[in-house]
Amino acid sequence: MKFVNLRNIYLTLVILYVLGIMAFAILMFEPREELILLYLPFTYSLIILNPEGKIWRRSTQKSYKFLLIGVCLLMVATVVYFRSQYNSLLYERLGNYSQADYFFSIGLIVLAFLLTWADYGGSIPILALIALSYAHFGQYFPGFLYHNGISIERIIAISATEFNSGDGVLGSLPQIGITWIAIFTIFAGLASGFGILEYIIKISYNIFKKFKYGVPQIAVISSMIFGMFSGSGAANVAGTGSFTIPLMKRYRMPPAIAGAIESVASSGGQVMPPIMGAAAFVMASYLGKYYWQIVVVGFLPAFIFYASVALAVYIYSRQFLEIRAEIATEELSMSQMAKREKIQGLPLLVAILMLIIIMSVYWVDVMIAGLAMILAFLITWIITQVLASPNKIEIMERFISNFLRGAKEGAETTASITTMMACIGIIVAVLVQTGLAQKLSFTIVDVAGGNKVFLILLASGLCILFGMAVSTVAAYILTVTLVAPVLANMGVSPLITHFSVFYFAMMGLITPPVAPCCAVASGIAKESFLKICWYSLKIGGPLFILPLSFFSQDALIMHGPQTLSAFFTVAIGMPAIVLGINLGYSGLKSVGKRIIYLGTGFFTLFYAKYHWLFFGMALCALFIFVEIYCLYKGKYDYIKKVV
């Protein structure tokens, strides 16, 4: 098969994939339980046939390529079989499956393992293999891990054949992947295809280059905006970091700190409303809430998150950044480009406004809102281009080219996430069917000894541990499955539990030894991975404290009369901790200041409900104001460190 033919076939499949999801958004022509029977095999085939993907590029022998094509034909047969047997499997022979049922189910399970391994590495598939081994050999495990063992036929059934159970490769997680998540990853792909990422970076550059120490903030703002759509911290680093890291290095920012700034800023994009990456959709589904309700809750903590990052970045900018004249021609070129393309960002602005209005006023389904966002973006782009240029043929050619590029990127992201969630579905199925989820929950309670604070710390540690090895969505799902019921029994609101786990899962992206964001930044910055991890933990260190404050300042998440007070309390405590960790002093002066700021920050966050500490909060706020003012005026002589 020639490459050009494969490329045409692949692009045709991409268009069908994207248009099918968009059609489902408005027509809802069948239940998600039935749609996944078509779209999961379609998703597998899309990943396999991608001429630029890892699978096809590694197939150097023709026989191997024919094998891959054979696998895609098997997926076609799987669709035909399961769709034709849907009613029979659902209503007539539940639990009494044929050899053909098991054969096609095994195909879906094996491909979930292999394709997830190719895209995300071995961590998630290995966890799934361990889960399957535990399911079958449960009688050999000691203590609370013991169970009677599940037969291989039953394992296959719960992992793939029983698609109405909510778990497994055809369960609720991949169903969310090809619906709620898909509609927004398609929008993100289209926005990228139409040059929105480049526009965001240009605008950020032209705004922050006017400020003396504003250049590193470009990474914070551009990563925040792009990250809310991408749903992947590592992809965010690769997208924005390829511009921002070299730019910071050009201003003499040490490579380790430049990479760390981009890593932390990119990891946080997933908590930024109104899109909030992929996990927000899963959270809405788990909690039985509207997606927009999750977004509204997410605004205040996300603002505190990025304000804290911006303050830490400013501290390092004052310590290391060297301001020097730019090349005049380059500045002129960037300025002219920004003036010529001022309207380039209008489609994005209109699309976001459309999402906010349609979901906050009309409370429509997520799929319809996402489709409206896509259509608003495309229509606005066409209108702005027609008004700016009389050449209609050129506009149409650019539209088709951009649409194809964006659809390809969106379809590939959707396929990757859906496949990963299908593999996680196997783990969740085993956790539920063996009763391990409930047993682990009880064990965590026993270890904590009924102490809610210790239990929260155990849960956060478990989540960060998962976050080191798997994606944010995976870590969030695995952890919240275990700890949410336990914390609910202790009186903690499920909304607080889910948000705190979500934030902890995100911080796993910068936590060694894996730290995928730092790994990507290390390649771009050409600096030691461990150095970037170290500074990422310093810049992002206070943000490990932020989700813990959700429990002590619960009104920040559970909106009510005390929400404004909780917001100001956390907004005072977090900068104090940022200053305590990142100030660049040395000697006894440094130790004293760090103790003051860390102490007042922790007391403000976790004990501010006591009235006698209000005076301490006010004093802390005064200290912070004076410190930031002195930073701004350059009153302190920072000692440069060897980086």
636 has pLDDT over 70: no
Q: Using CB atoms within 10 A of its CB, is residue 242 exposed (0-12), middle (13-18) or buried (19+)?
A: middle
199-208, 244-253, 326-335 — which is least confidently predicted? 326-335
Give 197 or 353, the one with higher predicted confidence.
353
What's the rounded Cα separation, in Å, for the pair 611 and 595? 22
Closest by Cα among 608, 622, 620, 619 to 555: 608
Q: Where are the domains of the chain?
A: 1-196+342-431
pTM (2 d.p.):
0.72
| 124-153 pLDDT, tens digit each | 788 889 999 999 999 999 888 899 999 999
Could you check whether the bond before residue 513 is cis, i.e. omega within 30 degrees of 0?
yes
19-28, 167-176, 238-247 — which is least confidently predicted? 238-247
| 371-398 pLDDT, tens digit each | 998 999 999 999 988 888 778 888 999 9
Return the CA Rg of the chain: 25
* Token reading at 538: 């310093």
Query: What is the SS3 assignment for 54-98?
Result: HHHHCCCCHHHHHHHHHHHHHHHHHHHHHHHCHHHHHHHCCCCCC
Angle between helices 215-230 and 196-208 (to 10 degrees): 150
Q: Which residues contact 321 (CB under 8 A, 6 or more apart)?
A: 213, 215, 216, 251, 252, 253
Taken in order 356, 358, 364, 370, is the CA torsion positive or negative? negative
Give 120 or 425, the one with higher predicted confidence.
425
What's the rounded Cα separation, in Å, for the pair 27 and 135? 40
| 560-578 pLDDT, tens digit each | 888 988 898 888 888 888 8
* Token reading at 288: 């039985």
399 has pLDDT over 60: yes
548 has pLDDT over 50: yes
What's the rounded Cα separation, in Å, for the pair 318 and 71? 57
